[in-house]
A and B are shown apart, each in its own frame.
Chain A
Amino acid sequence: MRRRSVLAGIAGAASLGTATSLAGCLSSGSGGSSGQPLAEHPASRNLDGQPTLGDAPMDAEKVIVAFEDPTCSNCERFHTGSFQDVKSEIIEPDSASYVYRPYRFTGRGWATPAIHATLEVTARDPPAAWDLLDFYYENTYSITGGSFADDTRAFLTENTDLDADAVLTAADDRAHQSILETSETDGEAAGVNSTPTFFLYTDGTFKNKLVGVQDLTAFEAGFEV
Chain B
Amino acid sequence: MISLPTSRSDWRLLGRTIRLVLGHPTYLVLAIVVMALAAILMSVSQNLRFVVEVLLSDSLGFGFKFEFLTSMLPFLGPQYEATHGILIYAIGALTGANVALLAYHLIEHDLSVEGGGGSAAGVVLGTLGAGCAACGPGILAGIVGIVGGAGLLANLPYEGLEFSMVAVVVLVLSMFWLADGMRGGEIRGCPVEPGEMGLGGDSEGNAGTR
Contacts and interface: CB of A to CB of B under 8 A. Distances in A.
Interface of A: 2-3, 6-7, 9-11, 13-14, 16-18, 20-22, 24-26, 28-30, 72-73, 77-78, 81-82, 103-107, 187-188, 192-195, 208-215, 217-218, 221-222, 224-225
Contacts of A18: 38, 41, 131, 133-134, 138
B181 interface: no
B59 A22 contact: no
Contact of A26 (B34, B48, B81): B48
Interface stretch (B11-19, B146-154, B185-193, B196-204): B146-154
A218 B49 CA distance: 13
Interface centre among B67, B72, B135, B154 (most CB of A within 10 A): B154
A17 B68 CA distance: 26
10 contacts: A7-B107, A10-B99, A18-B134, A22-B134, A193-B150, A194-B46, A194-B150, A214-B77, A214-B79, A224-B54
B131 A225 contact: no
B154 A212 contact: no
B46 A16 contact: no
Given A7-B107, A17-B133, A25 B48 contact: yes
B60 A221 contact: yes
A8 B38 CA distance: 16
Nearest to B134: A21
A107 B134 CA distance: 27
Contacts of A192: 150
Given A6-B106, A21-B137, A21-B138, A212 B47 contact: yes
A193 B137 contact: no
B81 A77 contact: yes
Interface residues of B, number: 53
Given A14-B130, A194-B150, A209-B50, A78 B78 contact: yes
Contacts of A188: 148, 150
Given A17-B134, A22-B134, A224-B59, A6 B150 contact: no
Contacts of A7: 30, 103, 107
Interface of B: 30, 34, 38, 41, 45-50, 53-54, 57, 59-60, 64, 67-68, 71-72, 77-81, 95, 99, 102-103, 106-107, 127-128, 130-135, 137-139, 141-142, 144-145, 148-151, 153-155
B77 to A, nearest CB: 6
Contacts of B72: 218
Nearest to A209: B50
A187 B145 CA distance: 14
A188 B144 CA distance: 12
A217 B68 contact: yes
A17 B141 contact: no
Contacts of B106: 6, 9-10
B92 to A, nearest CB: 11
Contact of A20 (B77, B131, B145): B131
B79 A213 contact: yes
A212 B78 CA distance: 9
B145 A24 contact: yes
Contact of A103 (B99, B131, B137, B150): B150
A218 B68 contact: yes
Contact of B60 (A2, A30, A209, A224): A224
Contacts of A6: 103, 106-107
Contacts of B45: 22, 25
Contact of B135 (A9, A10, A21, A26): A21
Nearest to A77: B78
A24 B142 contact: yes
